[in-house]
Structure formats: C-alpha cells, structure tokens
Amino acid sequence: MIVINNIKIRKDLSSNEIFEETIRKNKIKKEDILDWHITKKSIDARNKDDVHYTYSIALELKNEHKYKHFNKLKNVELPEIKSNNINAKKPVIVGAGPSGLFAALTFVQNGLAPIVIEQGECVENRKATVDSFLKNGKLNPLSNVQFGEGGAGTFSDGKLTTGINSPFCKKVLEEFVNFGAPEQILYLSKPHIGTDNLVHIIKNIREYIISKGGTFLFNTKVVNFNTDNNKVSSVVCMQDSKTLTIPTSHLVLAIGHSSRDTFEMLYKNGVSMEKKNFSVGVRIEHLQEDINKAQYGTVTKLKLPPAEYKLAYHSPNGRSCYTFCMCPGGVVMASSSEENTIVTNGMSYFLRDGKNANSAVLVNVVPEDFEDSSPLSGIYFQKDLEEKAFVLGGSNYCAPIQRLEDFIQNRKSEFIGSIKPTYLPGVTLSNLNDILPEFIATTLKEGLVYFDTKLKGFANPDSILTGLETRSSSPVKIPRNEDFVSNISGIYPCGEGAGYAGGIMSAAVDGIKCAIAILED
C-alpha cells in the first residue's frame, strides 16, 4: 500500500469526503483503488488563525507502478511466538487489569488456559460498587476504583497514548477494536476509549478468554505463595472464608500500583524489591470551554473535540512539576482503596461532554524523601498523605478542595467561585498547604503560575484544586531479568505495579511480553 501524509483539512468532512478530496488533489484514479483507510488524524492548533486537521491515508492500488512517487506504507511486523512445552505449564495471573488481561489473552491465543485471580469484582458488579461509594461514601476496600476487573484504568479517561515504541502497541489497539472499541482509536493521534466503553470491552475480553478455556476467580485474594528449591510451586488465596491453594509453575504478578498488602506479603517472602520515584500532587479543574479557547482560539469554525493539554515545569529547586492524565470534559474521581484515606484520579466518558476539564498536577518524589531505607517506604509516604487528606476533608470521604488563588496565598478557601467541583461523595473547603510537604506545595505553586504563561487562564483564581493525587505510578519496582523473571524462579513481575508500565497501553504491552516469555520458556 501507498500512504499519503500531511493532508490538511479545514472543513468538517466525513471520512469518505476526505478520501474523495485526497485522491482528486493527488490525481489518483478511483478505478485503480482496491481499498483505503485512514492511518492518522490529528489537530494542528499551533496557529490559532488556521486550526485544522491533518490526516494520513493508506491506499491499496492495483496499478501501483503508476504511483511510484508516493511513499510505501510501512507494515508493523509482530515477532513470531515459539511456544515450548505448553502442556507442562499452568500459568496463574494475579490481577485483572490491562497487563493481566492481555497476558491472559495472549495465553489463550497460543493454546494455554490461564487462571486469573482478582481480589475485586467482575467489571459489571464493580461499577455498581463504585457508583454506590460515590453516592453514599461506603468504601469496599477489595473492590473500588483501584481494584477489580479492568484495573485502575477502567475509571479513567481510557487513554491509549504511550511513550513506548513497541510493535505490540498496534496489536493492543486492534484487540480493543475487536472487543468493541471505536475504530477511530486505530488512527487518532491521541486515542481514548472512555470509561463507559471500557466497562463493556473488558467484559467482552473476559468472556472470550473463558470461551477459550481460561478461568477467572473474582473476590479472591492472594495471601501467600509456596516455593520448591526457590521456584514457585503454588499460590495461596482466600475466597470468602475458604483457603485455596492453586498449583502453578508460572505466576504473573499483574497486581497494580495500589496493592500495598500484596507488596508487603511479597517482600516478607523474599521477593526482591526496590524503591522508585513517583509523584504526588492535586487534581485541578477548569471550565472546559476556557481550555478550548486557550488551545483552539476563537476563529475556527471546525467542530473540534474538547481540547487537551500537557505541561511541564522545572523548578530551580531541582524538582519537576507536570500535568498528568488530563481528562477533557471529565470529573474528579474518589479513588480510595483503603479505609480512612482520600485518593483522587480523573475520569471521562467517551464523548468527554462534561462541563469541566481536570488534570493531575504533580511534583516528583524521590527515595531520598522517605524517612527509612525500606523498599516499601514510598508506600508509607503515600499513605500518610492520604490519611491527612481524609482528616482535612472531614473524615467522611469528602475531599479537601481549595481555590487556586487561596492555595497560592496559603489561606483556607471560604467560597467556591465560577468553577464548581465535580468530586463525589462531596467536598470540604480547606487549605491544602496544611497537609502537603513544603517542597511539594512550593513547587506546585511555581508550576501553576508558570503553566499560565503557556496556557492562558490556567491560573484562574477560581480553578479548583482537589487533594490529593498520590497514585500516579507505583512506589516500588520488582526487579526482573531479561527473561522477565524475578529472583524467585517462575514469578513474573508485570505491568504498572511492578514498575514496568505507566498507563493502559504500556501495561497491556508488558502483559503480552510476559506471556510470550512464559510461552517460550
């Protein structure tokens, strides 16, 4: 196939109209075209007087020799999987987030039937549990925004952007489409699925895995594992009040970044762990229409999607402040997974049609900031802040909030201005300076002021800061060798919780890689 790049479109056109205009401008005869598809779509808003779409389109031609001046489309080749000794393997996957689900999917597509153990509920029941928490403030510590089928990314924007360069990225996108995601994620420069779509897609993936022989054990918590000559031999679980011991030769730890008691169990049992950097901060909310104006200007007549942003600031104090997981037209989510803590995250539905935009604004935290040398000290750092946020919010799962102007002036907010908070179950006017470490508060203030120079209105005095965001990434790393194996043979640390991913896409890719390592073992 050939590919035509840098197609500038300044009108709201259908895909077919764009195709027709492209072949007309490039003098390609319609009768020579066997097939075509869009390979890329992005928005160019660098010049606010000329905001436009940029497309790339691939064409399959029967007389390709006539069009040699066009570039050839580069195909992404997936490596061949050389499965070995399949009948001797009994893989168990701990965790049904993106890494766990895509590991399981890879297994069943190559003849292995895994057991997936998930302490939370299946995604349909989990959604009802989360909705109940948002309504009445009653937390289920085993099934919530962090835990349950689909992982933490289920109640997010469903972003599929990533900084990694892997041939498996294309496979992940294609699999999502196979299980119900909109086809546009295959070509959008910043694809997202949305929480509303993810719930159905995850269910479809699970049902397919089961149809191919896989097993899911929900409401089942891994509490221990057994070894024989430093090789895993079984995993011990609690299901209701029953103890289950499941034999396994290959254990995939896709446990997510919030599985604190599981980290403690693994460390106690001799699994190597290291402290790692992570970030802490707040969620900021603006009016989405203000973000649209700042990013797109007011001249364009295009019906553009809600605008996004990504900003970074490097402080003279050596810290960095940056925005993360920006959710256009979304809400700030109550994301606690432990009793008497407050944790926030952002969520959007596919249409991103909410009144507010929100994003994490984070400051980097390094191991030298922790009080002790334990590999788990980052967990204790996070939890201390989450407990302080719980008390500041009223000890009832209401989140502490503050107007941006008041945060910079270090005074408690006494009113809510033009931007209304979206966090449920509720909010409490507070002073976030009272609970944030000084180095975080100072760097946040510098960053907020700086971001206003890059995105007009970012430092709107009425912008709402909601505390705290502490779970942007795992505070620990579980080292593994080139075969993806930890210091205990047969244990495969995987995904975001183990320190090898940062989002849905990279976690799913890591799950595929771990599964392939086991298949080829």
- What pLDDT is attached to residue 65? 84
Structure tokens at 297: 């200007």
- What pLDDT is attached to residue 328? 98
- What pLDDT is attached to residue 305? 97
The fold of the 87-274+475-519 domain, in CATH, is FAD/NAD(P)-binding domain (3.50.50)
Domain ranges across the chain: 2-72, 87-274+475-519, 277-469
- What pLDDT is attached to residue 66? 86
Low-confidence residues in the chain, pLDDT < 70: none
402 three-class SS? strand
- What pLDDT is attached to residue 344? 98
Cβ neighbours of 107 (radius 10 Å):
29
In DSSP notation, 485-516 reads: --SSBTEEE-TTTTTS-SSHHHHHHHHHHHHH
Contact 101, 495 (CB under 8 A): no
Question: How far apart, in whole angstroms, are the C-alpha atoms of residue 296 and residue 279?
Answer: 30
Cross-strand partners of 467: 282
pTM of the complete model beyond 0.75:
yes
The single-letter DSSP state of residue 130 is H
> Long-range contacts made by residues 127-130, C-beta under 8 angstroms, separation at least 24?
127/199, 130/155
Residues 340-367 as b or e (16 or more Cβ within 10 Å = b): ebbbbbbbbbbebebebbbbbbbbbbeb
Contact 75, 167 (CB under 8 A): no
209-226 pLDDT, tens per residue? 999 999 999 999 999 999
The single-letter DSSP state of residue 289 is H
Cα 341 from chain centroid (whole Å): 21
Is 2-72 in CATH node 3.30.70.2700? yes
Contact 27, 4 (CB under 8 A): no
- What pLDDT is attached to residue 125? 97
Phi/psi at 342 (nearest 5 deg)? -120, 125
- What pLDDT is attached to residue 468? 97
